[in-house]
Structure 1
C-alpha cells in the first residue's frame, strides 16, 4: 500500500491520546496531531493546521475535531486527499447546547476539571465503556492535561463555529462518516444526514459504542481508517497511471 501523510484533529478536552491506538496501528508516512488548544475559534484552529500540515494529507477529526476538519475543507479543500469524520456534526450549536457548555465551564472553574471529566465520562461512553475504569482514567488524564482555561476557550470556539450544512454536499473527496450507535453527545443521525448528501460519503456505525469511538472501539475505528486509507492510496495510484484528464 502506498503510504499517506495523516493529520488527526483531537476533540474537546482531548490530547493525542485520543488517537493512541490508531497512530500505533495504521501505516503512514507520518501522523500530525493538530493543535486545538491555542486558538479562540474553530477557523483559527483550521488555519493553524493548514499552515503546518503537508501539502496534501489524509484528514481525520472527531467531534470538535470534525468541526475543525470541515473548516479545513472550506478554506483549503485542495489540500485534503480524503476525510474521516467521527462522531461529529455539520450543524451549529443550539441554544440548549450552548447553555450546557457554559454550565460545564462554570463547573470546571468552580470544582475543577476532574469534576467535569467525571460527569462527561458517563455521556461520552457507551454502556460497556462506562464501567471501564482504565478508559475513564484516560479521559480524566486528557482533561487534566487540557485544563479549565483551555476547556473554556475550546467551548467558546465551538459555540461560535459556523454552520457547515451547506458545505457538506460540496465535499467531493472520499469521506467516511464514523459514529457509535449509543452516542449521547452527538446523535449518529448527524452522521447519517451528512453521508446522505455527500457525493463520495460512506457511513459506518459501531453498535453499542458511544462518542469516543477511537478509544472505546479502537480496533474497529482503526480498521475503518485503514480501509479508507487503502481506498485513498488506490485512487492516487490510478490517477498516476491514468495521468491528468484534459
Structure 2
C-alpha cells in the first residue's frame, strides 16, 4: 500500500449517533483518507442501512463501523466483499442478541417513550463513557443522541434486535482488519472484540485505555493512530 495515497474510507455511526461521532476521525485522518459518513438514520433494518450505504459509497473503499455501525459494516462486507478493501470494527460484536439482551432493548424503548428519551440517555451515560472522560464528552453524546431523535432510536433498536450473526462470514475475511474496543467498555466488553479478533484471519486487536463504549469521541487520538496503522497495512 502506498502510504501517501488518500484512500476512500466509509465510517458508519452507531445507535443514536450521527456524523458527530466521527468528527475527530474525519479531521484527523484527512491526510490519509477521503472520508464519507454512512447514513444510518433513514432505514429500519441493518440490511436496508447497508444497501443505502453501498449505493452511495465509492466503488472500492475501506470500511469502519462503530457499535451498531459494526453490524452494518459486517452486512456490507457480506453483501459486497469485492468492494471492501479493509475492515475495522469498533466496540461491537458479531453475535446476535440473546433473548435477555433483546428484552433489555425493548424495555429501554418503552422507558424512553414513557419517561422521556433524555432521561434514558442521561441514565445510561455511566455505561457509555469512562468516568474520566464523562465531563469531556458526556454532554456531546447526549446532544448528538437528542439530535438523532426518539423515533430513529426506536427504529435502530428494532434493527439491532433483528440483525444477522456475522461470525461465519468473518472467518473467511481476506482483507486487513482491525478490531478495536475501549478497555472499560461496559456495553460491548472487550471479550466480544477479542472473539472477533480470533475469528478474523490476521486481525489486529487494539484495546484503548481510559475509554468506555464511545471510543471515537473519548480517545480520538488513540483511535486515529490505530486507524492510520490499519489504513497503511
What band does the TM-score fall into relative to the shorter chain?
over 0.9
Question: Displacement of 1:164 after TM fit?
Answer: 1.1
> Which residue number corresponds to residue 77 of structure 1?
81
> Which residue number corresponds to residue 27 of structure 2?
24
Give the length in aligned residue pairs.
229
CA RMSD of aligned residues (A): 1.1
> Which residue number corresponds to residue 15 of structure 1?
18
> Which residue number corresponds to residue 178 of structure 2?
176
1:6 corresponds to 2:14? no
- Correspondent of 1:65 among 39, 50, 69: 69
TM-score, length basis structure 2: 0.95
- Correspondent of 2:125 among 113, 121, 125: 121
Unaligned runs of 5+ in 2: none
Contact 1:5 1:31 in 2 (8 A): yes
Secondary structure of the corresponding residue to residue 170 of structure 1: coil
1:187 corresponds to 2:195? no
Secondary structure of the corresponding residue to residue 204 of structure 1: strand
Secondary structure of the corresponding residue to residue 102 of structure 2: helix
- Correspondent of 2:147 among 142, 145, 148: 145
TM-score, length basis structure 1: 0.90
- Correspondent of 1:55 among 45, 59, 76: 59
Q: Report 1:206-217 matches (<5 A).
A: 206-217=208-219
Q: Deviations over 1:180-235 (max 9, x none)?
A: 1111001111111111121131100112321111011111001111111122xxxx
Question: Displacement of 1:127 after TM fit?
Answer: 2.7
Q: Report 1:191-210 matches (<5 A).
A: 191-210=193-212
Larger deviation: 113-122 or 179-188? 113-122
CA distance in structure 1 between the aligned counterparts of 2:101 and 2:152, rounded to whole angstroms: 19
> Which residue number corresponds to residue 43 of structure 1?
47
Q: Report 1:102-121 matches (<5 A).
A: 102-121=106-125
Secondary structure of the corresponding residue to residue 166 of structure 1: helix
CA distance in structure 2 between the aligned counterparts of 1:32 and 1:3, rounded to whole angstroms: 13
Contact 1:195 1:201 in 2 (8 A): yes
Contact 2:182 2:213 in 1 (8 A): yes
Question: Displacement of 1:29 after TM fit?
Answer: 5.0
Secondary structure of the corresponding residue to residue 179 of structure 1: strand
Contact 2:185 2:211 in 1 (8 A): yes
> Which residue number corresponds to residue 91 of structure 1?
95
Unaligned runs of 5+ in 1: 232-246
